[in-house]
Amino acid sequence: MSSPKITPEDFKSFIDQIFTGDSVDARSFAESSISPNYIRFMAGGDETNFEGAVGKVAFFRTNCHTWTSDLEFFAQDGNKIAARLICSLGMGDEPVKKMEMMFMAEVNEEGKYEAAWEQIAPWVGK
């Protein structure tokens, strides 16, 4: 069975839609792009399953007042994806912060994200 091809534009759209959009649509977004078997590990120990991902999408969409991202690196080998984004993120009453996101994932046969690893840190570049 061949792995689905995810383009850099597909990936960026997926990430951007986590933070932007109507929070009421969080579940339908997750069902269309994330496997029910989803598991995400974040550097530092946080772990999120599918239901947790739905909750996080709803939270981000409700509380994010600023989101912009630039996809700096993207690679796909079979069903594995690696990416680096530089983001400007503003949540709630917090000022906008520039962040770097490193993301690795596997997608299933349907092109839905199934296993992910993520590290987010303050951006220290130029």
126: confidence class by pLDDT, cuts 50, 70, 90: low
> For residue 96, is it within any domain?
yes
pLDDT at 1: 54
Q: Could you give the C-alpha distances from 82 to 67, 69, 97, in angstroms and in order?
A: 21, 16, 23
> For residue 50, is it within any domain?
yes
Span 3-47, pLDDT tens digits:
789 999 999 999 999 999 999 999 999 999 999 999 999 988 889
Span 61-110, pLDDT tens digits:
999 999 999 999 999 999 999 999 999 999 999 999 999 999 999 999 99
pLDDT at 4: 83
Give me the CATH number covering residue 66: 3.10.450.50
DSSP code per residue over 49-76: EHHHHHHHHHHHHHHEEEEEEEEEEEEE
Q: Range of 33's domain?
A: 8-122
> For residue 78, is it within any domain?
yes
> For residue 1, is it within any domain?
no
pLDDT at 118: 95
Count CA atoms closer than 13 A to 75's CA, side-chain side. 5
> For residue 3, is it within any domain?
no
Domain count, the chain: 1
